[in-house]
């Protein structure tokens, strides 16, 4: 390369790997970039010497600049300027991505001014979510065991109204949790009925500690719901791989939000890596859900599912984890005494 070309850079990718490419009609010297094949003259570069790439990312493969290929509602698609490379980059727009339903919980944030003692309320919640007991059977249990008369309607309200408290406890304990070292996160969706209408419960779970990292309840299975689910789980890091079924809604969401993770699409049960882990959770959830005979409203369903997942992550021992709780495997809490301490101090 001629020394006089050292101070000249390509106006598209800023590469200095250039060579002279004849002259234009006005007699100006033309240059061509060896990386992106852009042809230009010095007249074209006037006023662009200090040009910034408009905030566009550089290609992680060859280091060249990129151009905006498509701009969508939830993400932007950039393509490498180098024709030899042509690598695609997907950048999410977190502000535009809707929030998952697990983040839309509002209500009472403490146990103050309750008529009944706290241990009675926690016992009722454990019986309802861990043992799948009905509210009438729990009321009967309190009458026989403690000689305390509690209406089944009161117990039903307990199962819903304290969801914000448990959600705040979960957020506080997992605030600094980083699961980027995990091999796989599994994502799937299952059907629930709300007031007789079909809805989809999207779930994502860590393969190593069995923690449910997020959920999203929606009436459809389009890509926006997958974006919402992955956005809520991205606060825990970026795993080595995302395992899903062949639903097309996961494709762009995985490329955009978990762009460094390998996307594994399960083809059949004979594959080396399957989605049996989250299917097992779906069986556990459905065993509890079918006893409720569906949900009456979206808000009620969202609240009850939040409480169920809290008990699954923080209170339920798992046989596959040697009877440990997922938060113990994730090293968030050492033992059950610490968990009960957080509940009693809420």
Pair (183, 320) in one structural domain? yes
Contacts (Cβ under 8 Å, ≥6 apart) of 291: 132, 134
Write down the pLDDT at residue 193.
93
Write down the pLDDT at residue 335.
58
Write down the pLDDT at residue 306.
94
d(CA 100, CA 218): 9
Pair (190, 330) in one structural domain? yes
Pair (33, 81) in one structural domain? no
Residue 12: inside a domain, yes or no? yes
Pair (296, 223) in one structural domain? yes
Pair (65, 28) in one structural domain? no
Pair (340, 237) in one structural domain? yes
Write down the pLDDT at residue 251.
92
d(CA 139, CA 151): 6
Pair (270, 320) in one structural domain? yes
pTM of the predicted model over 0.75: yes
Pair (191, 304) in one structural domain? yes
Write down the pLDDT at residue 60.
84
* CATH number for position 284: 3.30.420.10
Q: What's the domain range around 60? A: 53-96
Residue 226: inside a domain, yes or no? yes
Q: Which two structure tokens, joined as six digits, stand for 306?
A: 């939040």
The torsion region of residue 204 among left (phi > 0), alpha (psi -120 to 50) and beta comes to: beta
Pair (77, 184) in one structural domain? no
**Which regions in the chain score pLDDT beneath 50?**
1-3, 48-51, 345-346
Contacts (Cβ under 8 Å, ≥6 apart) of 150: 116, 120, 124, 138, 139, 142, 143
Write down the pLDDT at residue 343.
57
Residue 59: inside a domain, yes or no? yes
- DSSP letters, 2-52, are -GGGTT---TTT----EEEEEE-TT-PEEEEETTT--EEETTTTTT-TT--
| Phi, psi of 119, rounded to the nearest 5 degrees | -65, -30
Write down the pLDDT at residue 84.
83
Helix (H, G, I), strand (E, B) or coil at 151: coil
Residue 116: inside a domain, yes or no? no
Write down the pLDDT at residue 268.
67
Residue 140: inside a domain, yes or no? no
């Amino acid at each position: 390369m001629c020394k006089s070309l050292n101070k000249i850079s390509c106006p598209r990718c800023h590469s200095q790997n250039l060579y002279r490419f004849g002259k234009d009609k006005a007699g100006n010297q033309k240059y061509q970039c060896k990386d992106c094949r852009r042809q230009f003259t010095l007249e074209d570069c006037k006023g662009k010497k200090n040009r910034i790439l408009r905030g566009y990312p550089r290609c992680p493969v060859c280091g060249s600049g990129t151009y905006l290929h498509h701009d969508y509602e939830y993400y932007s698609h950039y393509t490498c300027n180098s024709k030899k490379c042509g690598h695609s980059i997907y950048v999410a727009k977190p502000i535009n991505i809707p929030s998952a339903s697990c983040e839309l919980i509002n209500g009472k944030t403490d146990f103050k001014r309750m008529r009944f003692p706290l241990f009675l309320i926690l016992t009722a919640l454990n019986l309802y979510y861990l043992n799948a007991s009905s509210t009438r059977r729990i009321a009967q249990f309190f009458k026989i065991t403690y000689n305390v008369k509690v209406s089944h309607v009161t117990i039903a309200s307990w199962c819903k109204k304290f969801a914000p408290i448990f959600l705040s406890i979960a957020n506080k304990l997992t605030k600094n949790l980083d699961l980027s070292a995990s091999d796989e996160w599994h994502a799937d969706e299952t059907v629930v009925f709300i007031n007789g209408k079909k809805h989809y419960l999207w779930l994502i779970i860590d393969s190593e500690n069995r923690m449910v990292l997020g959920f999203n309840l929606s009436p459809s299975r389009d890509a926006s719901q997958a974006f919402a689910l992955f956005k809520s789980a991205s606060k825990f890091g970026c795993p080595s791989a995302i395992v899903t079924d062949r639903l097309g809604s996961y494709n762009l969401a995985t490329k955009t939000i978990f762009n460094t993770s390998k996307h594994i699409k399960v083809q059949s049960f004979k594959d080396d890596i399957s989605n049996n882990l989250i299917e097992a959770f779906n069986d556990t959830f459905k065993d509890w859900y079918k006893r409720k005979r569906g949900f009456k409203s979206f808000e009620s369903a969202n609240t009850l599912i939040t409480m169920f997942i809290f008990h699954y992550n923080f209170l339920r021992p798992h046989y596959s984890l040697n009877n440990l709780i997922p938060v113990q495997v994730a090293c968030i809490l050492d033992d059950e005494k610490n968990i009960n301490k957080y509940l009693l101090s809420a």
